[in-house]
Amino acid sequence: MKKGLEKAEVLLEALPFIKSFFGKTIVIKYGGAAMVSEELKTNFALDVVMLKYVGINPVIVHGGGPQISKTLEALGIKSKFIDGQRVTCEDTIDVVEMVLGGKVNKEIVSLISRHGGNAVGISGKDGDLITARRHSQKRPSPETERPEIIDLGLVGEVTRINPKILTALDQNGFIPVIAPTGKGEEGETLNINADFVASAIAIALKAEKLILMTDAPGVLDGDGNLISEMNPAKANRYIKDKVIKGGMLPKVNCCLSALKNGVSKTHIIDGRQKHAALLEIFTDKGIGTQIISE
């Protein structure tokens, strides 16, 4: 009886959130450990299926960096990174497209479908979903003390999102699963950071939420404590003081961009936690960092 009551209380706690988000779109960037552990992969698929069944429209954007590196190594191609970004040559982009759009994407689709969802896998090139340009990265040169341009090859940044294909899938009850590649200005395939793709898609769809799954508890303060909630002013102060730095910096910037362009709330959560997405969406406390508008 006690366990039954506890389950009832959990359902009742979720009810206001289900009512509030019914019919709304939530964009989730799926990556990190949640894509490696078999248990966490199953948990994530179940979370996505449940969201769909309670009337919420999940849109999934996935990463796949470790899978790409593993395949490149098997093919005898050495991975090279500059400031955390993969240098992507002609040989590498073929592998990126094969791994992201083929192996990883279809595995996620299959897992969601196996647990009762209707998922469809697409890349940013399908239906002209993502148009991009080559990413231009600069960093200070120690020799000249002036910024130098770093050539990352076929790495892109989003210039336009055409959400028609996503709208059509949603209207027909499908869950989109998106590989983060896009079409360049000359029709070439470009490899794009999945966090930035998720943010751009959330903006284009006027999503209720953007959720970024990572391998950290969330955003931490200077003492290593989790920051449960912050607004853009507080986030920018932490950035200025270099409390937010390294790999967390681009994630926070993705959230700030989404908020500035109409997304209601953004979240950075720990994908290593079982049912992380459900805990963040359907509980009062959540489990990660919520970044909200002023």
Q: Nearest Cα to 167, choosing from 116, 195, 134, 204?
A: 204
Percent of the chain with pLDDT over 70: 91
> Please, what is the average pLDDT of the chain?
88
Q: Nearest Cα to 107, choosing from 8, 185, 41, 169?
A: 41
127 burial type by CB count under 10 A (0-12 exposed, 13-18 middle, 19+ buried): middle
Tell the residue number behind the tokens 């595995």, with chain if given. Answer: 107
In which band, very low, low, confident or very high, does the pLDDT at 64 lie, cut at 50, 70 and 90? confident
Rounded Cα distance, 201 and 68, in Å: 23
In which band, very low, low, confident or very high, does the pLDDT at 231 lie, cut at 50, 70 and 90? very high
Q: Which residue(s) pair with 114 in the sheet? A: none
Whether the predicted pLDDT of 19 surpasses 90: no
Residue pLDDT, tens place only, 263-272:
999 999 999 9
Rounded Cα distance, 15 and 195, in Å: 29
Q: How confident is the model at residue 138, as a pLDDT? A: 63
SS3 94: helix
Residue pLDDT, tens place only, 96-142:
898 898 899 999 999 999 999 999 999 999 999 999 998 876 665 55
For 185, how many CA atoms within 13 A lie in the half-sphere containing its CB? 7
Q: How confident is the model at residue 2, as a pLDDT? A: 54
Domain extents in the chain: 27-289
SS3 116: coil
Q: Homologous superfamily of 27-289 in CATH?
A: Acetylglutamate kinase-like (3.40.1160.10)
Whether the predicted pLDDT of 12 surpasses 80: no
Q: How confident is the model at residue 69, as a pLDDT? A: 85
Q: What is the pTM of this model?
A: 0.91
Residue ranges with strand state E in the chain: 25-30, 57-62, 81-82, 85-86, 119-123, 130-134, 137-140, 147-150, 155-161, 175-179, 181-183, 189-192, 209-214, 229-230, 265-270, 289-292
Residue pLDDT, tens place only, 232-264:
999 999 999 999 988 888 899 999 999 999 999
Element of type H or E holding 199: helix 194-204
